[in-house]
A and B are shown apart, each in its own frame.
Chain A
Amino acid sequence: MKFKSWKDLPEGAIVRDVPTSPEFKTGDWKSRTPKYIPEKCTHDLLCWLYCPDSAIHVKDGKIEKFDLDYCKGCGICASICPQDAIEMVEEEV
């Protein structure tokens, strides 16, 4: 954090350095992690479409990776997948 005191803050509590969301790693909220099963995947990209956190990366029309820095573990990808190519597994602590 670059601010040290209230005197450093911009008036009106505005945030000038935008976007700020990439700095906010929401991945540590999750208790379950998506486990991707490539053999079952048909790359229909429904998971990519439905992911509320844009945490599924696609390259050349194919699933590339699950970005666990931002995946909150909601499981929408797993429930939307018609091929059962995603399983939600308990996070190991």
Chain B
Amino acid sequence: MKTKAFIKHALTGNEAAAYAMKQINPDVVAAYPITPATEIVQIFSKYVSNGEVTTEFVPVESEHSAMSVCVGASASGARVMTATASQGLALMHEILYIAASLRLPIVMVVGNRALSGPINIHCDHSDAMGSRDSGWIQMFCENANEVYHTVIMAVKIAEKVNLPCMVGMDGFIITHGMEVIETIDDEEVKRFISKRTPLYSVLDIEKPITIGPLDLFDWYFEHKRSQLEGMLQAKKVIPEVVEEYNQRFGTNFPAFLETYRMDDAEFAIISMSSAAGTMKEAIDIKREEGLKVGLLRIKTTRPFPYEILREKTKGLKAIGIMDRAESWSTMGGPLSIEVKSALYPLDKRPFAIDFVFGLGGREFPIEDAFKIIDITRKLSEGEEFPEFVHIGLKE
């Protein structure tokens, strides 16, 4: 049952996210501006002023307050959204954990940007990777069109499993890059997300509750185990919601992992976000030259799709993992560490190498994508390399 044709707009990633938020018409949005995600809430505040949404918009004095307001509002049963980036996300850090542990389905768009220092406003994934253990569902989009649709899906996913969800897009590359976005109409969005059914509401005077109580060595551990159920449930719900969306609107978005030209691939690149777009182009060119290379684009990193990765890397000779963040473990970036540990229990594993690239918005030209393919090919042929290499670094 595909819907009528999409409505096409020329929008940046920020505009696309704000437009999705307008169609969602959340009950509460609390936000503080920060480059490169400022526009999302700036545009959204215009919708509020123009009466195009009925949202209670709370302009706060910091991101710590923004997330705190989101927690309070969400605990009352409201549908709540916000947006941030980089230092803003870092300032929210302690409240992120609280939102997740209270099982509040807040949806937040993140314009992925480097963390200080030195101060930098451009794209990398160090902000979101710093929140990877906060208990939020984390998704990363390849382009602005995917951001628009993912934000809508995220509302349904989050509210079904009662966990907050972060939708990431590369700072400036996606947040400020204009694209043709194919939107669905307001009524379709409303019908798809329907209404939130909260686990509890602090405003329900018939059923008074205490939230956020002190919880020491006697039950904290059990509460954390209970929280894990949400993430395990998300592994089932994310593909269901994405499949429902694809069916209804004729789209083809991945739930966890997108495979590109993997059918007869002998080695693969594992990538996330906008760099995957560049990598697809590079793979097309290298395929013309006869190289059997494919791409696995990881869309969702929390919960981490380790079973799918095991399945999709079966029979590969080598994988090259692309990390737009440092982990300071001295064994590569965070994505490579997780991908490698996902494959560890297998009898036959591909050779693996990590490519740390694009930090602080360093350009990722197609020549660098070729370089990554070339090194991964050599690795598949048995050549030795260090655990990780830097791509695009002035050496």
Task: Specify the main secondary structure of chain B where it touches its partner.
Answer: loop
Residue contact B219 to A9, C-beta cutoff 8 Å: yes
Instruction: List, in ascending order, chain B residues with CB within 8 A of A5's CB.
Output: 222
Residue contact A18 to B209, C-beta cutoff 8 Å: yes
Which single residue of chain B is at the shortest CB-CB distance from A4? B222
Q: Does A23 contact B (CB under 8 A)?
A: no
Instruction: List, in ascending order, chain B residues with CB within 8 A of A7's CB.
Output: 226
A66 to chain B, nearest CB (A): 26
In the complex the two chains form, what is the Cα distance from A47 to B254 in whole Å? 66
Binary interface profile of B, 101-130, with partner A (CB < 8 Å = 1, else 0)?
111100000000000000000000000000
Residue contact A18 to B226, C-beta cutoff 8 Å: no
Instruction: List, in ascending order, chain B residues with CB within 8 A of A9's CB.
Output: 219, 222-223, 226
Residue contact B222 to A11, C-beta cutoff 8 Å: no
Q: Does A93 contact B (CB under 8 A)?
A: no
Q: Does B207 contact A (CB under 8 A)?
A: yes
B225 to chain A, nearest CB (A): 4
In the complex the two chains form, what is the Cα distance from A53 to B219 in whole Å? 26
Partner of B230, one of A6, A11, A16: A11
Q: Spot the interface stretch: B82-90, B210-218, B277-285, B338-346.
A: B210-218
- Considering the complex, which residues of chain A in the window 69-88 have a beta carbon less than 8 Å from any beta carbon of chain B? none
A22 to chain B, nearest CB (A): 13
Q: Does B47 contact A (CB under 8 A)?
A: no
Which single residue of chain A is at the shortest CB-CB distance from B208? A18
Q: Does B162 contact A (CB under 8 A)?
A: yes
In the complex the two chains form, what is the Cα distance from A13 to B100 in whole Å? 11
Q: Does A61 contact B (CB under 8 A)?
A: no
Binary interface profile of A, 18-30, with partner B (CB < 8 Å = 1, else 0)?
1110000000000
Q: A6-B222, A6-B223, A6-B226 are in contact. Are A13 and B209 (CB under 8 A)?
A: no
Binary interface profile of B, 153-188, with partner A (CB < 8 Å = 1, else 0)?
000000000100000000000000000000000000
Instruction: List, in ascending order, chain B residues with CB within 8 A of A13's CB.
Output: 101-102, 211-213, 215, 223, 226
In the complex the two chains form, what is the Cα distance from A1 to B222 in whole Å? 14
B101 to chain A, nearest CB (A): 6
B233 to chain A, nearest CB (A): 10
Instruction: List, in ascending order, chain B residues with CB within 8 A of A15's CB.
Output: 209-211, 213
A12 to chain B, nearest CB (A): 4
Residue contact B103 to A12, C-beta cutoff 8 Å: yes
Report, nearest first, the 6 A-B pairs whose CB atoms are least far apart.
A6-B222, A12-B103, A15-B210, A6-B225, A13-B223, A12-B102
Query: Interface on A for B, CB 8 Å cutoff?
Result: 3, 5-7, 9-16, 18-20
20 further contact pairs, Cβ within 8 A, besides A6-B226, A9-B223, A12-B211: A3-B219, A6-B225, A7-B226, A9-B226, A10-B200, A11-B103, A11-B199, A12-B101, A12-B102, A12-B104, A13-B211, A13-B212, A13-B213, A13-B223, A13-B226, A14-B199, A14-B210, A15-B211, A16-B207, A20-B213
Q: List 19 A-B contacts (CB under 8 A).
A: A3-B219, A3-B222, A6-B223, A6-B225, A9-B226, A11-B226, A11-B229, A11-B230, A12-B103, A12-B211, A13-B212, A13-B223, A13-B226, A14-B102, A14-B210, A15-B209, A15-B213, A16-B209, A18-B208
